[in-house]
Structure 1
């Protein structure tokens, strides 16, 4: 095995899920800032970090089909495997009507409700007004607590004024909250053993049936 392959297998797997709908999306921007800050802390320990960002906007149709049929398609299955195989998860949703978006909730509905048990999760959200920040505590945190994830104490909310006139996440108190939340997530990830290598892809049920039919 090459040194590069060995480093990849030992890399900490960090996944950020963004449910932003726009392009560019403030939810994606916040997910990127949180992932970069967490990665910086983990790499300071000398451990490589593999960061994957999942844009739920690109999976909206797949998620709807998965909810209706009960079977995720290839793209959705890949996203689910990334999330359930991660050692740390960052989950970011825009806030609509004082709660997470329907797309965000639907994605976590298609994941087995035991798959995130014991997983460190950093919750974050974006919205048009600072008044929606309470949704982190009355909507997102209870969701991941129900899924038995370990939710870091600091939740990060970003309103338009938090980004500054140039769209800079370093403006104001947001930078301090990002740093504190990244510290907490990185600390929890350090305490977890390296994730096992992903299992081989599951053979679709139709193919399994075809293999059992007589020639």
Structure 2
């Protein structure tokens, strides 16, 4: 279900964690390649662990969840990884001028409040540059609705961007977007896995005794 960046095996104490959602359907996939580049750059700049979630491996469980309302174990693990992360990278291929149905379905099964305040870097891949506006007219509004914080720079990679002529420009966009996400992740208070001491719980009997004394 999930894969981890080569230099991590999970969450290390005191380190931030970035979830990477990729909706590519083929293997190998240009969508996964872009997601890996964004993850590598952000992980390096933020000194964070990265966890990659391949939606193609969860397609059956996502469809079942849409019908039954209950996630299977692998999908539950993926949802938990995304909603507990300090930052999110989300990359989709362009289908019919928008994000893929698999990509949308995954975020449909996540609670609408679970990503509030989460820094997000959005990316997409397609055959031609004319589809690049999918980032602004489809993906950015989606995460705005979920009340996530989307970084200013979105990254689109067309077929020509993987050739030698477009590689330099693509690399520059990747670095700029990664720097923006890294800055937001670094500034965000730690979430799950932080070393903050848990708040002390006062027994109910003691609370009643304190109220009686005040009276």
Interval containing the TM-score (normalised by the shorter chain)? 0.7 to 0.9
- The equivalent residue for 2:14 is 10
Provide the aligned length of Structure 1 versus Structure 2. Answer: 184
SS in 2 for 1:8: coil
Is 1:111 equivalent to 2:110 in the alignment? yes
The Cα of 1:10 is off from its aligned counterpart by 1.4
- The equivalent residue for 2:144 is 145
- The equivalent residue for 2:203 is none
Q: What RMSD over aligned residues (CA atoms) do the two structures have, in Å? A: 1.5
Aligned with residue 193 of structure 1, among 173, 189, 194: 189
- The equivalent residue for 1:23 is 27
- 4+ runs of 1 displaced by more than 6 Å? none
Q: Deviation string for 1:167-204 (max 9, x for gaps)? A: x9x81310110000000000000111122239xxxxxx
The Cα of 1:11 is off from its aligned counterpart by 1.4
Q: Which has the larger radius of gyration?
A: 2
SS in 2 for 1:104: helix
- The equivalent residue for 2:180 is 184
CA distance in 2, matches of 1:9, 1:151: 26
Whether the aligned pair in 2 keeps the contact of 1:62 and 1:72 (CA below 8 Å) is yes
Q: TM-score, normalised by structure 1?
A: 0.83
Q: Which runs of 5+ in 2 are unaligned?
A: 1-10, 195-215
CA distance in 2, matches of 1:148, 1:195: 17
Q: Deviation string for 1:131-165 (max 9, x for gaps)? A: 00000000000000000000000000000100115
- The equivalent residue for 1:66 is 65
- The equivalent residue for 1:34 is 38
Is 1:95 equivalent to 2:81 in the alignment? no
Whether the aligned pair in 2 keeps the contact of 1:54 and 1:79 (CA below 8 Å) is yes
Whether the aligned pair in 2 keeps the contact of 1:88 and 1:189 (CA below 8 Å) is yes
1:127-142 correspondence to structure 2 within 5 Å: 127-142=126-141
The Cα of 1:8 is off from its aligned counterpart by 1.4
CA distance in 1, matches of 2:183, 2:140: 19
Q: Which runs of 5+ in 1 are unaligned?
A: 1-6, 44-48, 199-215
Whether the aligned pair in 2 keeps the contact of 1:13 and 1:195 (CA below 8 Å) is no
Q: Deviation string for 1:100-158 (max 9, x for gaps)? A: 00000000000000000000000000001100000000000000000000000000000
Q: Deviation string for 1:76-95 (max 9, x for gaps)? A: 00000000000010000000
